[in-house]
Amino acid sequence: MSYTDATLQLLSPAGALVESDATAPYLPFVEKLTDDELREFHRVMVLTRAFDLEGTNLQRQGQMGIWVPSLGQEAAQVGSGFAMRPQDHIFPSYREHAVGIIRGLDVINIVRLFRGLTHGGWVPEENGNFHIYTMVLGSHTLHATGYAMGVTLDGKAGTGNPDTDEAVITYFGDGSTSQGDVNEALVFAASYQTPELFFLQNNQWAISVPVSRQSRTPLYLRAGGFGIPGIQIDGNDVLISYAASRKFLDETRAGDGPRFIEALTYRMGAHTSSDDPSKYRTDEETAHWAALDPISRFESYLRSRGEGDDFFRDVATEAADFSEDIRRRTVELGVPPVSDMFDNVYSEPHPQLAEQKLWLEGYEAAYAQGGVGE
């Protein structure tokens, strides 16, 4: 699947601004962006890619059990990530590393997750309201909707003040749109008119299954059937991702009801480090999308605006340091205490589990062998 007529784009693959009737409602959001903000877009996309490549290497070297790359999807994530306001809450799937970086998440926590030290890794409160990753596809979209229902109950949306009104954004993939939960989330969101943006990253594949198996009609149309306005954007264009997300987030936080964005992008890497894309997709296809790479496209745009080599060199250097830092801290990560297995299950005391914990401690003490490290 490639772009349709309906696909909104602010930056051509060559990096030129697209001014048309279709883009008119979105250009103003971009015009408001300062040079520094535009530089930030580039900077985070590059940092994210560096983190991603480092993650892939670390996994290859056995430092992580699995790695889930975001390679190729940086524009969709960075644009929407910068469109959020501080008070907004994000319910990601498991690939939104760039959004985590934007929200101030220390990404070593993502490493902790994929290294097998934790099933989560962080709490949203301390990390820019960036919630933890969810592995059961689509189930988090209902959590996002419920959270947004709570925002409404608290009267924290629709007051007309964009600096305090809260919005919720949830990310999910093309394959996940087939899950009952995602569709039920659309039902509840429409029914309760939640302040919520559904952000679909259509990266063309659900592991080895093409999006055409999930739907024969563009997925942004799905939302309309539930009474939710939806649009389709070029997900490799960071500017439209920003502008469309900013527009929809501010509409939904203002009380206009939920919104839906389908960002057409491409998973340039494997689904995860365990995957072998050569079994199901062609080099031609990958090459086609490589030519649409979000970072080089935006770099051309910045250069066309007069941005010079120094900036790009500095960002590259920072990215190298960033990777280096991650690598160093990764190999230093210890193993979690045995108590994690028991103490985190319930918020209140649980005699049965306490007993089992006690038994294991006694057993471990008695038998030197067995246990961690083995």
Partner 1 sequence: MSALESLPMAKALNAGLRKAMQDNDKVLMMGEDIGPLGGVFRVTEGLQAEFGDRRVMDTPLAESGIVGTAIGLAMRGYRPVCEIQFDGFVFPAFDQITTQLAKLTNRHEGRISMPVVIRIPYGGHIGAVEHHQESPEAYFAHTPGLRVVSPSTPHDAYWMIQEAILSDDPVIFLEPKSRYWPKGDVDLEASGRPLHSTAVAREGTEVTLLGHGAMVSVLLQAADLAADEGTSVEVLDLRSLSPIDYDPILESVRKTGRLVIAQEAPGSVSVGSEIAATVAERAFYSLEAPVLRVSGFDAPFPPAKLETLYLPDADRVLEAVDRALAY
User: Tokens 């051509």 appear where?
Assistant: 12
Which 3-state string (H, E, C) describes 287-340?
Answer: HHHHCCCHHHHHHHHHHHCCCCHHHHHHHHHHHHHHHHHHHHHHHHCCCCCCCH
Of the candidates 60, 119, 213, 280, the residue annotated as catalytic is 280
- Which of residues 63 and 204 has its CB atom nearest to its own copies in the complex? 204
Query: Pattern of binders to partner 1 over 280-299, x per CB under 8 A?
Result: x-------------------
* Residues sharing a CB contact under 8 Å with residue 112, sequence separation 6 or more, in sequence order: 118, 121, 333
Interface residue with partner 1 among 46, 185, 261, 292 (CB under 8 A) is: 185
Q: Residues 34, 217, 347, 352: which binds its own copies (CB under 8 A)?
A: 217
Q: Would you count residue 139 as binding its own copies (CB under 8 A)?
A: no
Q: Give the closest residue to 50 by CA, choosing from 317, 299, 346.
A: 317
**Least Cβ distance, residue 2 to its own copies (angstroms):** 18
267 is catalytic: yes
The residue among 30 and 148 lying less far from partner 1, judged by its C-beta, is 148
Distinct helix (H) and strand (E) counts, the chain: 15, 7
309-338 binders of partner 1 (CB under 8 A): 335-336, 338
Question: What are the C-alpha distances in Å from 165 to residues 2, 13, 153, 160?
Answer: 36, 35, 12, 7
Annotated catalytic residue 280 = yes
**Helix, strand, or coil here: 196?**
strand
Residue 96 tokens, joined? 């939104």
Q: Out of 5, 31, 154, 332, which residue is the one contacting partner 1 (CB under 8 A)?
A: 154
Catalytic residue among 95, 97, 140, 267: 267
Binders of Mg ion in range 161-180 (CB under 5 A): 173-174
Contact between 203 and Mg ion by CB under 5 A: the answer reads: yes
In the complex, minimum distance from the CB of residue 115 to partner 1, in angstroms, rounded to a whole number? 7
* DSSP structure string for 135-179: -STTHHHHHHHHHHHHHHHTT-SSSS-TTT---EEEEEETGGGGS
Tokens of 24: 């008119």
174 counts as binding its own copies under rule CB under 8 A: no
- Token pair belonging to 289: 């999308």
Which residue ranges make up the site for Mg ion (CB under 5 A)? Answer: 173-174, 203, 206
Which residue ranges make up the site for its own copies (CB under 8 A)? Answer: 177-181, 183-184, 187, 190-191, 193, 213-217, 221-227
Catalytic residue numbers?
Answer: 267, 271, 280
